[in-house]
Structure 1
Amino acid sequence: MDRGTRTPATARARGIARSLAVAFGGLPHSVGTVDSPPPHVAGDITRLWLRNSRSQESVVDTASTEIVTMTTHGERLRDVWLAIESIGRGTVKPHRLVLWLDRPLPRVPWRLRRLQHRGLEVRFTPPGLGVHTKYWPLLSSESLDRPLVMSDDDIVYPETWLEELRGAYQSSPRCVIAHRAHVIGMSSESEFTPYASWRPCESDAPNYAHFATSVSGQLLPPALQKAIRDDGQGFLRSAPTADDVWLHYEAVKHGFPTRQVLDRQQHWWFIPGSQQTGLNTVNVAGGENDRQIAATHSPETRRRIWAEVAAIS
């Protein structure tokens, strides 16, 4: 369809986009971009906006099991509340919900303050960890006796997001659990194929050749968390902008295969305007993932992955 052609559906979408821009105080948003939601998702965002403005319901459940963590930076700080609110309205709530920031703020934005009153923890850590801020401060400073779920700051998560992660973990407790994974490609026991060529995972079976992505959420068992902590901050040298690469390496090294929740990838809608910044272009199109994968994996982890790749090829 020609970009200038108007249909009732596009007219409705543009009307919702304009309404959202007003509601969110000028949130960047344009129909037809990767972060412009369809009408039903725009409606969900409006409901989350109203929930954040009015609700007194807690976003955590102290009787629950999982700790959910994320980080944000720069302009995304303005709208990260949407990702947090979407997690907090879930059919299963986390035991704790932690937002890590790498510098103190003169004043926490008011929508985050409302979430703090409902159980969100906003915590500060010294800068320098980059994307690893979402998990390392917690792993390095606290007792690790609960599943840790990492989330991204630019996704509107569905209500059953955490419930489904929990269910898969309960049936596969020695696995990394993810809603979205790729199948690693290798041309030999020592050489990975380009990350951009890896195919989507179409299996819910545990496998070392499955590579989890945190964008849709991934769960780390406590024993793996302890192993990652004990291995220290090698990620700053080999995978400074690719937390998924480092976490997959650690999982393979310590004997934790990755299991996708379903036999297909799940990826939900981006928060409007969130994709104006981010590492995806640099890491994938710019080849940084490939460089960091090559710099991170050892001969031992390569052999373990290669055995699985050969078995499923």
Structure 2
Amino acid sequence: MKVYKKIKKKLPSAKLMFEMWWANRTQQQPRTFDPSANVHVSLTSYGKRIDKVYFTIESIMRQSADMSSITLYLYREDIKQSGIPKSLSRLQKRGLRIELVDQDLRSYKKLYYSYLEHFNSGNTEASLVTADDDVFYSETWLAKLLEGAQQHPDKVIAYRGHTISLNADGQLQPYREWKDVFDNERFLPTGVAGVLYPFASLKNLEKQSKEFMSLCAFADDLWFKCLTLSNGYLAHQVEDCHDSNPPAILTLNTKRRGLALYNVHQGGNDAQMRNTVEYFSLSFA
């Protein structure tokens, strides 16, 4: 019975993987991008996961909402030996941008380099949307983020996250005790389901690469929460159960599990949060 339940649970992801695999090999029509939308979706990947990131990108290509670009940021050394996979080359022909970068900024690559690009071009009105590289996004995923942004233009928009929990003395509780009950003042978005950042919410990010890699290298969600809060931006949750839990790409990779063990169960997030709160001189009490 347990085996049956496990197989049944994985069937939706398996179906989506086949669907995106087929689209990647047969679809030739380029995605239409609208520069006037000023909505830019970005993601990153690394190592062997680069061979599977096309599954996620195919799902982003299907978005019903207008967007201006989809960009995949890759550390140059990650593809030095094998080159860009054919699956990604096919997506490039349909409009995907691939930018090779010289610094391995881990998960920060997907937002830091996107922000830097628009900062350098003076595009200060951009909406920057991040996606993870190992899930499938529904066709209305972006539309709901944009709807949230239209209703709350002065906030970061996300599907899921945690409430930063405090004890009776107003001190931070351990990360593993933070609740999935959303308090607007202390709602911390987590990136797996996607996050929309108004450009201005990320002010000064261009100056911080050394700091975030030193103080909070494995928890970009924590850094971005504190940065946006320091710039006066709270976060708003899009209430949608389906897009809050996007189906995962099936894989045998255990690195994410190992990172979760360090960040959550071994106190990695707690140390990084303390570092980050101190850097930004924040108080959540």
Percent identity between matched residues is 28
Report what 2:61 is aligned to: 88
Cα distance 1:299–1:100, how it changes in 2: closer, same or farther (>3 A)? closer
Separation in 1, partners of 2:125, 2:261: 35
Q: Which runs of 5+ in 2 are unaligned?
A: none
- What TM-score, normalized by structure 1, do the two folds share? 0.80
Provide the rounded CA distance (Å) in 2 between the counterparts of 1:299 and 1:51: 45
Q: In the alignment, what sits opposite 2:42?
A: 69
CA deviation digits over 1:110-155, x for unaligned, max 9?
A: 0100000011111111133122111112222433431001111111
In the alignment, structure 1 residue 149 sits paired with structure 2 residue 129: yes
> Where does residue 234 of structure 1 map in the other structure?
211
Give the Cα separation in 2 of the matches to 1:262 and 1:188. Answer: 29
Shift of 1:37: 5.1
- State the partner residue of 1:271: 249
The structure-2 alpha-carbon separation of the partners of 1:266 and 1:2, relative to structure 1 and needing over 3 Å to count, comes to closer
Per the alignment, residue 43 of structure 1 pairs with 15
Match of 2:139 in 1: 159
Q: Secondary structure at the match of 1:135?
A: helix
Which has the larger displacement, 118-127 or 57-66? 57-66
- Whether 1:290 aligns to 2:270 is yes
Report the counterpart of residue 108 of structure 2 in structure 1: 132
d(CA) in 2 for partners of 1:267, 1:257 = 22
Which secondary structure does the structure 2 equivalent of 1:294 belong to? helix
What residue identity is the alignment partner of 1:261? V
Does 2:160 match 1:183?
Answer: no
Distance 1:108 1:139 in 2: 24
DSSP 3-state at the match of 1:99: strand
Q: Who is 1:122 aligned against?
A: 98
Name whichever of 61-70 and 252-261 sits farther off.
61-70
TM-aligned CA distance change 1:195 to 1:154, over 3 Å: same
Q: Are the structure 2 counterparts of residues 195 and 56 from structure 1 closer, same or farther at C-alpha, using a change threshold of 3 Å? A: same
Residue identity opposite 1:87 in structure 2: I
What SS does the aligned partner of 1:111 have?
A: helix
Could you say which structure has the higher helix fraction? Answer: 2
Please show how residues 17-56 of structure 1 align to structure 2 within 5 Å: 31=6, 38-56=10-28
**How many Å separate the matches in 1 of 2:38 and 2:252?**
30
**Within 2, Cα distance between the matches of 1:214 and 1:231?**
19
Aligned Cα root-mean-square deviation (Å): 2.4
Task: Give the alignment's TM-score, normalised by structure 2.
Answer: 0.87
1:206-259 residue CA offsets vs partner (Å, 9 max, x unmatched) = x23000001110011011133433555421121111110100000111110010
Q: Contact 1:186 / 1:192 at 8 angstroms: preserved in 2? A: yes
Structure 1 residue 52: Cα displacement: 1.0
AA aligned opposite 2:246: W
SS state at 1:148 partner:
strand
In structure 1, the gaps of 5 or more residues are 4-9, 14-30, 307-313
Structure 2 residue aligned with 1:110, among 76, 81, 86?
A: 86
The amino acid that maps onto 2:190 is T
Counterpart in 2 of 1:21? none
Rg (Cα) greater in structure:
1
